[in-house]
Amino acid sequence: MFELVVATKNKGKLREIKELLAGLPFTITSLEDYPDAPEIVEDGKSFAENALIKAWVIAQYTEKLTMGEDSGIEVKALNNQPGIYSARFSDPNATDRKNNLKMLRLLKHVPLKERQACYRCFISVVDGERMVAAVNGQCRGLIAVNPKGKNGFGYDPLFLIPRYHKTFGELDPKIKAKISHRAHALKKLKKFLGEWYLNRS
């Protein structure tokens, strides 16, 4: 069985990735399994660049097939912020709660219909000395007036899907696993990894 290293320490993200890639003949590990891995400096100017940086740095260290993922949320009324700074929106030591509170504060006087938002996910896979896959996915919604739901992580309690009248925090995880930005990207990646495995078996 092959190993796929996911260049993340985010437990919520890793859990979703493992669930969405279930069934593949891969052992999925993360930076938790490589405590001495070098620090990743996310100095890219886009989600795609940061995803590649993560994959490249860790692939060089582990010499294993490595996946880098970068995702975040863009809010139209905030000039598409926080974007690539989603995880550290409130401050360098941000928490999900701090980030959510800052977003609600900035949107305090913006009506719901003008709170359009887009969750984006970009993934790069590096095998040895080269990038072998780059996929992405997105999901559009609105920023709710108040956080709702305990599911998910990040901005999920604020990300409202009008079709279901629920936030990602309230939505059944099985539905989120079909419509989220990460689900769309990982569906493409799962197809690629299946083909990659067959070519090496």
Q: Which residues pair with 66 in a beta bridge?
A: 5, 126
- Determine the Cα–Cα distance for residues 99 and 52; give it in Å rounded to an integer: 25
183 contacts 177 by C-beta, under 8 angstroms: yes
Of 190, 172, 193, the closest CA to residue 182 belongs to 190
- Determine the Cα–Cα distance for residues 117 and 77; give it in Å rounded to an integer: 8
Active-site residue, 70 included: yes
Tell me which DSSP letter residue 116 carries.
Answer: E
- Determine the Cα–Cα distance for residues 103 and 82; give it in Å rounded to an integer: 9
CA 193 vs CA 60, 128, 133: distances in Å? 19, 15, 9
33, 43, 70, 156: the catalytic one is: 70
Residues marked as catalytic: 70
